[in-house]
Structure 1
Amino acid sequence: MSDGQRSPTGTGQIVVAGLTKQYKNVRAVNDLSFTVEPGRVTGFLGPNGAGKTTTLRMLLNLVTPTSGSATIGGRRYADLTDPLRHVGAVLEASSAHKGRTGLNHLRVIAAAAGLPKQRADEVLAMVGLTPAAKRKFKGYSLGMKQRLGIAAAMLGDPRVLVLDEPANGLDPEGIRWMRGFLKTLATEGRTVLVSSHLLSEMQLLADDVVIIAAGQLVRQGPVDQVLGSMAQTARIRVRTPQAAELTKALREQAATVETDEQGTLLVAGVDAPTVGRAALGVQAELHELTTERPDLERVFLELTAGKAGIR
């Protein structure tokens, strides 16, 4: 589809400002603010009940905010002309008439949006479903339904893509395909916002993360920056037959030393060279000396610890 047909929405930047949603006695989202930039994949993370889905539904005009705003390219979703050409969204695995083929399902959506018929074939090829184009929806696996949902979201060649748990039901090969697909969309300058609970995958996929808990922002920024902000929590794994002697020497240097079930020392508060010098001083034979940097899962758990979901 040409740029003229696409009619892009501003820069495609998503801006959530002071967004709040109150359900009777439950505040699902509480004064939430963050931005999502074009040309990047942004992971939207939070514990179950953190308010992620409610936030996405407010962004897409499926839920009315109590206060605050959510805009795409400077406009509310409700104010977009031909929204399918601006924003593609998948909030759950695709649903369709069980007796309808994947191809016909997409053709119906394309016709309703005033899009050319052949666009259905193009997006099926894009998500690798061409071999299943004429298979009835009732025969689709959950992973195939996810791909069909993404195909539907891409019908209008949107500049913004909003996905809630898109890897749900995908096998490892499918997850790898999803990662490459979304990264490619971002390199084309599109805005990609992805909610997921697969933290190890998000560390591979996302350029930026927005982490929320109990409806509030906990941390936002590039993945490397968020991980770097927790660098002080890096631990050093040490295996040695002289664990008691080395533990005593390290604690004398104000290090924190714990022991796991295998007898490995987990050392914090000092760096690896300091551990090495301490081992040399007590003539401890080292079988392992490894610095463990915080990964996204560990950082996420530390940032959201004790902040229960509220819906």
Structure 2
Amino acid sequence: MSDGEIVVSGLTKRYKTLLAVDGLSFSVRPGRVTGFLGPNGAGKTTTLRMLLNLVTPTSGTATIGGSRYADLRDPLRTVGAVLEASSAHKGRTGINHLRVICAAAGLPKKRADEALELVGLTPAAKRKFKGYSLGMRQRLGIAAAMLGDPRVLILDEPANGLDPEGIRWMRSLLQGLAREGRTVLVSSHLLSEMELLADDVVIIANGKLLRQGPMGEVVTSMTTTAHVRVRTPQADGLTAALSGLPGATVTPSSDNTLLVTGVEAPAIGKAALAAGVELHELTPERPDLEGVFLELTAGKAGIR
């Protein structure tokens, strides 16, 4: 097993009559950002809390580098985690909040300054926590998670409260940490951002694994089909022209728009030209993470 690899095996959590996580198994490799996705109530947060030994599994195991979190010799230097926006004494400054954690964990005082610089909060180091925005609190939480320079980072909805610039900053930070060989596991509802951020993806619903693998493979493996969007005032004429192309399927959409599958855009344009059909739009549309996610999780949202 690789140093820093996360392995979830047969993980189950039952709360009386509620089965929150049901025999869940997946792995997260070092050197990559892994997106942990699922609809509301899928069991994501419960899984992360079991991974950090904040919740006791009913059965199964969740290990980091082959050990339970509770058995790690130096957990703060092994794992950094943020499961919600950072909380701190309202009258304490950002830098003092981190210094208190350093003192309690036996870490050098300078790590507080280094962590603040890492997350871009140095200018706000001496501002009191009560004056921090939600986005600043998210950054402070990540700074706290990075104090021990951990090999593994576990984040639950880290982009909450961040503006577009902050989200781009977060993406750059996490990808950079993964390139250093760290294991980065991120839970998020922002599917478009996750498609840009993550190398791998784990999708669950109702506490069960639906799909796991490299982002590109997961997106292209689904039945969601690539199609070409064609807008023309001569929809019937184009449909007739395409009927002679092997494999072409034409589905009327709206506003003189047709969705064409089974044939590429250049062939559609050539057929339209030969038939004298006027085209106003010819746009290839590929499967994306959102489409795959919705297809996988349709009707599977729950309450947990």
Q: What TM-score comes out, normalization by structure 1 length?
A: 0.92
Deviates more, 1:281-290 or 1:246-255: 246-255
Aligned to 1:63: 55
Instruction: Determine if contact 2:224/2:292 at 8 Å carries over to the other structure.
Output: no
Aligned to 2:35: 43
> Is 1:285 paired with 2:278?
yes
Query: 5 Å matches for 1:152-167?
Result: 152-167=144-159
| Distance across 2 between alignment mates of 1:23 and 1:255 | 51
Aligned to 2:199: 207
Instruction: Output the aligned Cα RMSD.
Output: 1.8
Shift of 1:277: 5.1
Deviates more, 1:174-183 or 1:269-278: 269-278
Deviates more, 1:262-271 or 1:252-261: 252-261
Aligned to 2:213: 221
Instruction: Determine if contact 2:192/2:290 at 8 Å carries over to the other structure.
Output: yes
From the superposition, tell whether residues 21 and 221 of structure 1 become closer, same or farther in structure 2 (CA, over 3 Å).
same
**Equivalent AA in structure 2 for residue 79 of structure 1:** D
Query: 5 Å matches for 1:269-284?
Result: 269-276=262-269, 278-280=271-273, 282-284=275-277
| Distance across 1 between alignment mates of 2:211 and 2:185 | 16
Instruction: Determine if contact 1:18/1:67 at 8 Å carries over to the other structure.
Output: yes
The alignment of Structure 1 onto Structure 2 pairs a total of residues equal to: 303
Which 5+ residue runs of structure 1 have no aligned equivalent?
A: 1-8
Which 5+ residue runs of structure 2 have no aligned equivalent?
A: none
Deviates more, 1:150-159 or 1:283-292: 283-292
Instruction: Determine if contact 1:227/1:296 at 8 Å carries over to the other structure.
Output: yes
**Equivalent AA in structure 1 for residue 16 of structure 2:** K
Shift of 1:248: 4.4
Instruction: Determine if contact 1:41/1:205 at 8 Å carries over to the other structure.
Output: yes
Instruction: State the secondary structure of the residue aligned to 1:197.
Output: coil
Shift of 1:285: 2.0
Instruction: Determine if contact 1:13/1:35 at 8 Å carries over to the other structure.
Output: yes
**Equivalent AA in structure 1 for residue 4 of structure 2:** G
Query: C-alpha offsets along residues 166-197 of structure 1, whole Å, 9 cap, x if unaligned?
Result: 01000111111101100110010000000001
Instruction: Determine if contact 1:236/1:272 at 8 Å carries over to the other structure.
Output: yes
Percentage identity across aligned positions?
78
Deviates more, 1:239-248 or 1:40-49: 239-248
Q: What TM-score comes out, normalization by structure 2 length?
A: 0.94
Instruction: State the secondary structure of the residue aligned to 1:54.
Output: helix
> Is 1:85 paired with 2:70?
no
